Amino acid sequence: MRNSLTEGSIWKSMLVFAFPVLLSNLLQLFYDAFDAWTVGYFLGDTALAAVASSSSLIFLLVGFCNGLSMGAGVVIARHFGAKNYDAMNKAIHTAVAFGITAGLALTVLGVGFTPTILKWMDTPADVLPQSVQYFRFYFCGAIFVVMYNMCVGILHAVGDSRHPLYFLMFSTFVNVVLDLTFVGVLRLGVGAAAVATTVSQGISAMLCCVHLLRSKDVYRLIPRHIRFDPESLQEIVRVGLPSGVQNSMISVANVFVQSSINSFGSAAMAGCGAHTKLEGFAFLPVVCFSQALSTFVSQNLGAKQYNRIRKGILFGVICGSSMAELYGIIAYFFAPQLISVFNDAPAVLEFGSMHMRTICLFYFLMAFSHCMAAVFRGAGKASVPMYTMLLFWCFVRIAYIRLALPHYPQLTTVSWAYPITWTCSCLVFIVYYFSADWMHSQEIRKTAA
């Protein structure tokens, strides 16, 4: 099942691609939110705080591999748009070989270094044992996370966003059943919630792999061809390494932010953790239109459809930013009610609502930055968003908190780190988009060579 984005109506082809991605990410959010709700409802505040601190650490360790999977998707989509199927197949099998290797390495690192990283994050003593238990069980299945994202990247690159949705629907159902059984009925603790997630992610990865193996299309996966092709690996690393470094370094900054939140106690951790789960709904249109834009730009650049690229960028960025901001407005007015879904303790509601209301009206800035980063990544200019986000979302964010928090020791000070750095990155992306010939520079470089 393919959806070429190089022909036909721009808005229709992009929406046909983006809508299943939106539903997939909605299911993924439900997946994560249900974990948090189950733990908070059945096991209490401390257990919720242990799970709530998961996002930064998980993204730190998984983000690098996901960045490389993005790079693989860009390379595959470029060859697909240019109808260079031999190069595309080499890139696909190289990506799978990398996913297997990286997944195994990530499992070892995650299980081995979880206690050390959690201590670096100043995780409170009453939360630490359950956090260690949760993360270690989670990272036992890290290879499933990496392989699922790699396979989804391959399918998205050829315009197939429907099959990942079908697979995720089934694994989400499994996750809900296992969460209710392990945590709600058997009361096995936070580790059981991680086991439920690991099993569900394993099912998703397996279904994606089986689909690629059985496909009759040009992107079929053939086991004996799984190996590292030097030229394909070089292309994937050139595009994906900046994205991987960007994801990891931003995660380091967010780990620092999380450690600052941790210093305000378990109520602040639980409240901000609930907000993080809810913020995922604002991130839904960002993710779906970012992925659509990256694939759209990659395929059309391969087909040399430059005017079509510009029109698609305008449509995708406007849709992603406006939908994120609409959710932000709703979240501002209903913050306490939304936080109470996870925990209705007064202190948790106060911290969570304040944190949400400080940030949510600026979601359009977050969306714009991610969409433009996807555009440049799809054009093979992944170093631009990497340097921009490293500067502002990492170094400036950390510097701001270090300088401001001693003078204004309130959680609001930490919360403002996000809108400030989102604004800075938006300004840089706007200037670069209108001042650089980024769309043709790669073709000019190849011609000169």
Residue 390 or residue 248, greater confidence: 390
Averaged pLDDT score across all residues of the chain: 84
Residue 50 or residue 442, greater confidence: 50
What is the structure's pLDDT at 419?
Answer: 95
pTM, rounded to two decimals: 0.75
What share of the chain has pLDDT > 90, as a percent?
A: 27
In terms of Cα–Cα distance, which of 289, 308, 374, 290 is closest to 81?
Answer: 308
Q: Is the pLDDT of residue 372 over 90?
A: yes
Question: Cβ distance 163 to 83 under 8 Å?
Answer: no
In terms of Cα–Cα distance, which of 190, 150, 246, 244 is closest to 50?
Answer: 190
For residue range 170-211, list pLDDT tens digits in order: 998 998 899 899 988 888 888 888 888 889 989 999 999 999
- pLDDT tier, 3 (very low <50, low <70, confident <90, very high otherwise): low
Q: Is the pLDDT of residue 92 over 90?
A: yes
What is the structure's pLDDT at 446?
Answer: 42
What is the structure's pLDDT at 141?
Answer: 86
User: Whole-angstrom Cα distance, residue 117 to residue 136?
Assistant: 12
Q: Mean pLDDT across the stretch 335-341?
A: 87
Q: Is the pLDDT of residue 280 over 80?
A: no
What is the structure's pLDDT at 380?
Answer: 82
Structural domain boundaries in the chain: 10-440
What is the structure's pLDDT at 265?
Answer: 82
What is the structure's pLDDT at 205?
Answer: 92
The 3-class secondary structure across the chain, one letter per residue, is CCCCCCCCCHHHHHHHHHHHHHHHHHHHHHHHHHHHHHHHHHHCHHHHHHHHCHHHHHHHHHHHHHHHHHHHHHHHHHHHHCCCHHHHHHHHHHHHHHHHHHHHHHHHHHHHHHHHHHHHCCCCCCCHHHHHHHHHHHHCCHHHHHHHHHHHHHHHHCCCCHHHHHHHHHHHHHHHHHHHHHHHHCCCCHHHHHHHHHHHHHHHHHHHHHHHHHCCCCCCCCHHHCCCCHHHHHHHHHHHHHHHHHHHHHHHHHHHHHHHHHCCCHHHHHHHHHHHHHHHHHHHHHHHHHHHHHHHHHHHHHCCCHHHHHHHHHHHHHHHHHHHHHHHHHHHHCHHHHHCCCCCCHHHHHHHHHHHHHHHHHHHHHHHHHHHHHHHHHCCCCHHHHHHHHHHHHHHHHHHHHHHCCCCCCHHHHHCHHHHHHHHHHHHHHHHHHHCCCCCHHHHHHHHC
Q: At what angle do helices 162-179 and 142-157 cross, to 10 degrees?
A: 160
- pLDDT tier, 313 (very low <50, low <70, confident <90, very high otherwise): very high
Q: Mean pLDDT across the stretch 372-381?
A: 88
